[in-house]
Every structure is written in C-alpha cells, then in structure tokens.
Chain A
Amino acid sequence: MRITKWIGSTLFIIGILIGGLTYAQSPGGTLRVAVQGEPLGLNLILTPSAETYQLIMYNVVEPLLRYTAEGELTPLLATSYEVEELEGGTRYTFYLRSGVTFQNGEPFTAHDVKYTFDRLLDPAIASPNAAPFSFLRGIEILNNLIVRFVTEGKAAPFLGYLASNKGAGIIPAGSGMEALKTHPIGTGPFAFVEWVPGDHLTLMKNPHYWKEESPYLDEVIVKFIPDQAASLAALRAGDVDMVDKMVSENALVLESDPRFKFVADWMNTPQLLAINNARPPFDNLLVRRALCYAIDRDEIIAGTVARPEWGRPIGSHMSPRNPLFYVDLVGMYPHDPERARQLLAQAGYPHGFQTTIYLPQPFEFHIRTGEIIADQLREVGIDCSLQVLEWGQWIERVYRQWDYDLTVIGDDQGVEPAANFTKPFERVQADGSSKYYFQYSNPFVRELLSRGKETFDTAERKTIYAMVQTIIASDAMAVWIQDIPHFEGMRSEVMGYRKLPIYVLDLARLYLSDG
C-alpha cells in the first residue's frame, strides 16, 4: 500500500512537472530579431525589395497558397482549387477560406483578391513584380468566397507564383498604394505596428488571425543592423534574441557558447562565376569548359565558409535546396587543372590570356570567392585582375550594359523553376541573342522552357528542367560554385525556426521556451 502511494505521488509530481514544462513552452513573449537589410517601403506591390519581402510576406500579408519548408505548395487563403483546361487557356478556380478578417477588422472576400491583382497588373502603377503574371487574361468573382483566374495557355508556374511572387500577398480592397508603403495591412499572423527607418520595425500578434493557436509570439521587433560584427555583439549582449543570416565565422563563435545556438541551412541562392558568353574568348565552348575544370569548389568552400561541411557545392543553375527540380551535376567538371590547360591550348590559348573579374561591393562573400577563383585561374595560365565595383556600378556595367568578362554573383531563387529560368534564358532580342547579362542563347533550351510552362505533369516538368540544367551545364554557360550557406543565430530558448526555400522569414512558428 505504502509503495503504491509512493509511486502514485511520484508520478503525480512528475505529471505536474511535465505539465509545467509544456506550459512553459507555450505562447507569448517578445522576440527581437536583427536583420541586415532594411526594406525600401513596405508595399510589396510597389517594391521588389527582398528586404521588404522577407519581413512582410507570410507574416503581414498572405497569398492564396504558400510553400512549406520542404518546398511543397499548401493552401493558405485558398483552401482548395480546381484547374480546367479551356480553348487556348486555363481556368483556375479558388475556394477561399471563410471567417478570415484583415488586421483592420474587415472581412476577407474574393473582392480583395481581385483588387490585389488588379493593382498588381495596373499599368499606371507599373509594379516591378507584375511581369511573371503576364499570362493572366482575367479575374472573375463568382461569389464572396470563390474567385476564378483565366490564363493564356496552361501557365503551369501560376500556382508557384501565387505562393511566392512578391506582389501576391492579398490586401484589402480599396487600400491606397501610398498608405500601404508605410502601413501594410493583410490577413497574416502579425499586424504592423510601426517602422522607424534606420532603426527598427515592430509587428504584433494579430488577434483576428484565422488560424487557431497561431502565432505564438506576442510581439516581434525587427532591428536593422547591417554589420555582422555589430549584430553578433548585440546577440551576445542580450540586445537581440536572434540574428538573421549570420556569416559562418560568427556561427563558429556561437558554437562554443551554450547560451546560444544556430540553425545551419542553405539560402537556395546559387553562387556562380557568371561568364559573358558573347565576348571572346568566352564565346568559345572550350574556354568556358576550361574555366570549369580550373575551379576547385572544395577549396573555395574551405576559404569562404568557416567549416567546410557547412558548404554545399553545386553544378548547375539550381540548388539542392530545391529538391523537387534539382539535378546533381557537380561531377560533370571535377577539378582538373591539367585538363583545363589542355582545353585552353586546344582553343588557341596555350599561354593563357588576361581577363578581369568584376566583384560586387557590399558582398564580402562574393569578393572572397572571387579572390580565390583568381588564384585558381592563375594556376592554369589565366591572368585575372580583380575589380570591385560599387553596387550601382555593377548593375550599370554588368547587369544593364553586359560590359564585363567574368563576375561572381548569387542568383536568389525560389522554388518554381520557371521563375528562375525565364528571364535569363527565354527572353531574346529580334535576332535571337540574349537580353540577359549571361548573354547565353540556346533555342533548344528556350523550347524546353516554354514546354515546361505548358504542362501540369510533375514528372514531365521534372524531366524538362533536368534537361535544361544539364544542357546549360554542358554548355558551361557559367561555373556554378555553391549554394550560399545560411546561418540563423539565436538564444538557446528560441524555438521553432525553419528556413523556407524562399527569401521569407517565417515568424509564426517561433516561440520562446522559457515562456
């Protein structure tokens, strides 16, 4: 009897302790996050700023669908949808979630969806985010909770765009574009409170949010700290709880400190040595392939990432962070300086040649990569001079005028491959030459890409994009190096962080384990 009582009371106490612990992990609290880049206005219809996107999308405004951390599409404001093929077009019917209200209390209906896309595609507003939706023919409201889009052709990427395009977050009908620049309103888990430019931005829990028990945090304060050393210092001093996108050296510093932890992931941003395919000697396939063999990805990773295992080499214009479509082509050009020299000799450059690599100013990561690449190319006889350009100059010379030999840059990608491949590989001038700074033009690739937009069959799409990647890699259009590592540093008590495959900081899942 006594023993049973003993066991009983022990279990009871344990039960209370467990209950107490789980209760201590439940909602509440304020989270202070340090981010590097500051938004340029908070209206996602008006600005292409990635900094705005990462804070406002999914947190303040919500689109009809969203991506999970694994890159899959799930319902958000639309609970289900139907796709019907018509003559020369497709009809997408979305059934919207009921009982949703905006942060200002207004109910969410199909009118808001139509209003959002009307504004996004309004030529008078000239939104920088509208171009992907050029295949939209019309939007119809069937009733309060059913909205219908009609597209030209199959528009297979449409669903992906709905989940991730910068302008796809639904805003209340009748909202003024200027007002939303400083006070965004949406249906998301966090409501905008204030923005003090140069200092911070505050979000608070949306009491009207449609999802039960979400978000966990009461308040999020986003601080703009552009410098890595300063944000690390702020974290260690207790001025912030989380630092977004730390450099690997700082993650290393946190490793030995039990008060902190970091989540290591990749940004889904392929880093590449971009080649001007239209400019000699790089118009010669042999030369481009020589570059591929000359580059040692592992050495670059060792020199740019604090721990080599945190690096991830890539061999094509995509990252393994996009598992649905990625094809591993790292083995296509192993590091082989001898082979590189042979190819150069074959191409008519037995003694190598001189060239310039442009490096974009604020991006230390690319600058360091460029330095290492120059060293590796020197090994095979290619004498590189390095020139660091201010961002404005880089955009002017490289991006707009295509006036460069080589450059190192990252290509920020989402999940939908059409979004990543359309601009660089599909847009051409009248004579068939490329309108993009890669200056790569391949009619077969173009055909594949337009077919990729016209089929809904996932298996077929995967094959198509795999072929595109293989062709581009085989053509050595560029030398792909690595997916840029992503480190989120935080106090040990911050839980629930997961990196999404798009440039969005998902705040709803975060909670503090000390209550």
Chain B
Amino acid sequence: MTLTRHSRRARSPRQNISFIIGAVIVGLIALTACISLFYTPYDSIKMSIEDRLQGPSTAHLLGTDQYGRDILSRIMEGTQNSILVGVVAVGIGMSLGVLLGLWVAFSSGWVDEAVMRTMDVIYAFPAILNAILLVAILGPGIVNAMIAIGIHNVPIFARLTRGGVLRAREEEYVLAAYSLGRRRWAVAWRHILPNILSSLIVQGTIQFAVAILAEAALSYLGLGTQLPYPSWGRMLREAQTFMGLAPWLAIFPGLAIASFVLGLNLLGDGLRDLLDPRLRGAG
C-alpha cells in the first residue's frame, strides 16, 4: 500500500499545474460573468435582422446569429447562465445529499439498505432521461432543469457523506467524543463534516462540470433555459439548423462549454491532490 502512495505523491507537483490551469480557466470565466453583468459589446437580446448570419469580423468578433445578435455578447452572458445552473444544481445535490447521507449513516441497517438501493437506482438511471421526465412534469425552464439535475446529484453526495461517516466513526477522536457524552448529530457536525469537507469540495467541483454539460444537453433539446436568454446549449441547437449557411455558429458555444468543463475538471483534480491525496479512491 505504501508503495502506491509513494508513486502518487511523486505526481503531486504535476497535479499542482492541473490546479493552476483549472483555476485560471474558471477564474477567467467567472470574471467574464461578472463583466457581462455590466458590459457586453452589444445587447445580447436585441435583434437586428439586417445583420443576420455574418461571419466573424472587426465589428462582431465572433459573428452574428440568425437574428443579427452578436455572438460574443451572447457567449459572455451565457457564462452567467452556466454558473447559476452549476451553483444551484450542486447546491441542491449537496445539501440534500449530505443530509440524507448523515441520516442514513446513523440509522439502522434496514433504512440504510433501502435508501441506498433507491439512491443506486436514481444514480444508475440515465441522467438525461431522468431530467427529461422531470422537466416534462414540471415544465421546461431553467429552474426545473436545475432541480432535475440537482436531484441526480443527490445520490453521489449521499454516498460520499455516508462513506465518510462510516469511516470516521472508527476514528479515535469520534469514539472519544462519544465517550464524553456528546450526541450523535453534534459529533457529526463538529467532528465528522469538517473531515469530509475536502472530498465534498472536490466532488462538488466535478459535479459542477457535470451540471453544465447536463444543462447544455437539456437546452439543446429545448427543455432548459428559455428564450431569449443566451444558453450555450440552445445556441448549438440553433446553429445546427443553419449549418449549411453559417458553420461558425456551431463552433463558439461548444468551445465555451468545453473550456468551462475542462477548467472545472482540472480544478477538481488539482484540489483533490492538494487537499487530501488519500481520498483519491473515495466517492
């Protein structure tokens, strides 16, 4: 076992680069989102039909879409959309998942088994189909898409939390706290959670990336962010209709999605090895 640890730690400096690149990308995107709250080169919603379907030029760095809207501005505003979805979906997944995981870990075996099997089913079920069904029930829209994606995150965090609790229960400091008469929930809150916090952060980063991909897919199908707000996924759907006339429409939104997800994945990997390499196998 020690040998594997050794080879892992030898890689740490390189993983640091992963963290750096990831942080830079994510940082840039977050910065773009902040900037776009106040300024974009053009109004991303206002139409200008005479200017439709123009290629990249000095006036419009990334070209215009089928209604003459500036693509650069729409991509910039799209960052707000993606960040919002990521935060809410992971937020829902994490909060519900952690609570569920804690509850299950402190409950009897029967409850544990039943709930975890349900989690397994939810997790095994194709996320997209889940989301489509949920959105069909609740109606399309960014809020419902976030809920649908969030629900799919719950099993992951539940399992993570449960595992963390089960492991930590064996630790000395926990046993000591018990012997001092502390109640279970207090012990969980003050001793156990801080220890799984790092793995939650790492997993959260990764699930953020997954959420962005999921929202893009749902918006592509027309079930996510609604018109006329810019969503990278729906921009790709619209681009497909005009593939023959304006191929550049399909390139930039996808590039935005890929960049953000790449940044988040690199960040997550980097965080994982920085915060606690031991947890590489967890979750």
CB < 8 Å: which of A249, A303, A385, A386 contacts B241? A249
Quick one: CB contact mask for A474-491 with B, threshold 8 Å, 1 for yes? 000000000000000000
Which stretch (B5-13, B44-52, B116-124, B157-165) binds chain A?
A: B44-52
A375 touches B227 (CB 8 A): no
Tell me, in angstroms, the Cα distance from A468 to B45 when the chains sit together: 38
CB of A163 within 8 A of chain B? no
CB < 8 Å: which of A252, A386, A390, A393 contacts B228? A386
CB of B195 within 8 A of chain A? no
| A359 CB contacts on chain B under 8 angstroms | 227
CB of A203 within 8 A of chain B? no
B241 touches A364 (CB 8 A): yes
CB < 8 Å: which of B49, B140, B222, B244 contacts A299? B49
A386 touches B227 (CB 8 A): yes
* 7 cross-chain CB contacts under 8 A: A249-B244, A252-B245, A303-B66, A371-B227, A372-B67, A389-B140, A390-B140
Tell me, in angstroms, the Cα distance from A303 to B242 when the chains sit together: 13
Tell me the count of chain B residues lying within 8 A, CB to CB, of chain A.
Answer: 22
CB of A14 within 8 A of chain B? no
Residue of B nearest to A302 (CB): B49
CB of B107 within 8 A of chain A? no
Tell me, in angstroms, the Cα distance from A134 to B226 when the chains sit together: 43
Most chain A C-beta atoms within 10 Å of own C-beta, residue among B45, B46, B47, B141: B47
CB of B139 within 8 A of chain A? yes
CB < 8 Å: which of B50, B240, B244 contacts A253? B244
CB of B136 within 8 A of chain A? yes
A375 touches B222 (CB 8 A): no
Quick one: CB contact mask for B241-268 with A, threshold 8 Å, 1 for yes? 1111100000000000000000000000
Contacts A388-B140, A390-B140 given; does A372 touch B49 at CB 8 Å: yes
Tell me, in angstroms, the Cα distance from A364 to B49 when the chains sit together: 17
Counting residue pairs across A and B whose Cβ atoms lie within 8 Å, the total is 58
Tell me, in angstroms, the Cα distance from A400 to B241 when the chains sit together: 32
Give the shortest distance, in Å, between B134 (CB) and chain A (any CB): 13
A388 touches B222 (CB 8 A): yes
CB < 8 Å: which of B46, B227, B244 contacts A367? B227
- In the complex, besides A253-B245, A374-B228, A375-B46, 5 extra interface pairs with C-beta distance below 8 angstroms are A228-B241, A364-B241, A386-B226, A390-B136, A393-B139
| A368 CB contacts on chain B under 8 angstroms | 66
A303 touches B136 (CB 8 A): no
Tell me, in angstroms, the Cα distance from A302 to B45 when the chains sit together: 17
Residue of A nearest to B243 (CB): A229
Residue of A nearest to B45 (CB): A375
Residue of B nearest to A375 (CB): B47
CB of A214 within 8 A of chain B? no
Q: Which of A341-381 contact B (CB under 8 A)?
A: 359, 361, 364, 367-368, 370-372, 374-375
| A372 CB contacts on chain B under 8 angstroms | 47, 49, 67
CB of A143 within 8 A of chain B? no
Most chain B C-beta atoms within 10 Å of own C-beta, residue among A299, A303, A385: A303
